[in-house]
Amino acid sequence: MKHIINCLVENQPGVLARIVGLISGRGYNIETLNVGPTEDPTVSKMTIVVPGDSHVIEQVTHQLSKQIDVIEVVNMTNRRHLDRELILVRVATESHNARAEIVDLAALFRGHVVSVQEDSVTIQMVGNQETVADFLCLMKPYSIVDISRTGVIAVGREAPGASAAKG
């Protein structure tokens, strides 16, 4: 199972490296990682997707919460939340029919054509993890030439003050 962990961290040099080292150093994989500033310029938000069972996630969240630069750790997986990922995918178009099919499929997923080349089309698409996976599965028969993904970002949907505190 994939778990989404949000961390609020101090916006200081080396924090990202320490967090990544902490997780990978214990033999756990990071599937996606997204880091950006918050409304407070001294704080950054990290969204980390880690595959594993409940024991793995318990260990990861426990170790993260012990770090001096970490303000808050929240496992979003079983909480009400919204998650999104942005992808840019360039798909080969061998024929006019293939191009039309790709554009139609993209439209079904609320994707947008952002570039058209002679032999390919580039689609921008935003969705949750499952929607992105479904879209990419449908694009595979058309030969994906290149892909770039932002990684997952997530925000809670619970009332203010309902999130878990550090530790």
Q: What is the tens place of the pLDDT at every residue in 26-74?
A: 889 999 999 999 999 999 999 999 998 888 889 899 999 999 999 999 9
Cβ atoms < 10 Å from Cβ of 121: 22
CATH label of the domain that carries residue 121 = 3.30.70.1150
Instruction: List, for residues 103-162, the tens digit of each pLDDT value.
Output: 999 999 999 999 999 999 999 999 999 999 999 999 999 999 999 999 999 999 876 655
Six-digit token pair at 98?
A: 């293939």
* 117 located within any domain: yes
Q: How many C-alpha atoms does 158 have within 13 Å on its Cβ side?
A: 9
Q: Tokens 């002679």 correspond to what residue?
A: 118
Domain count, the chain: 2
CATH code at position 40: 3.30.70.260
Range of the domain at 32: 2-78
- What's the pTM? 0.81
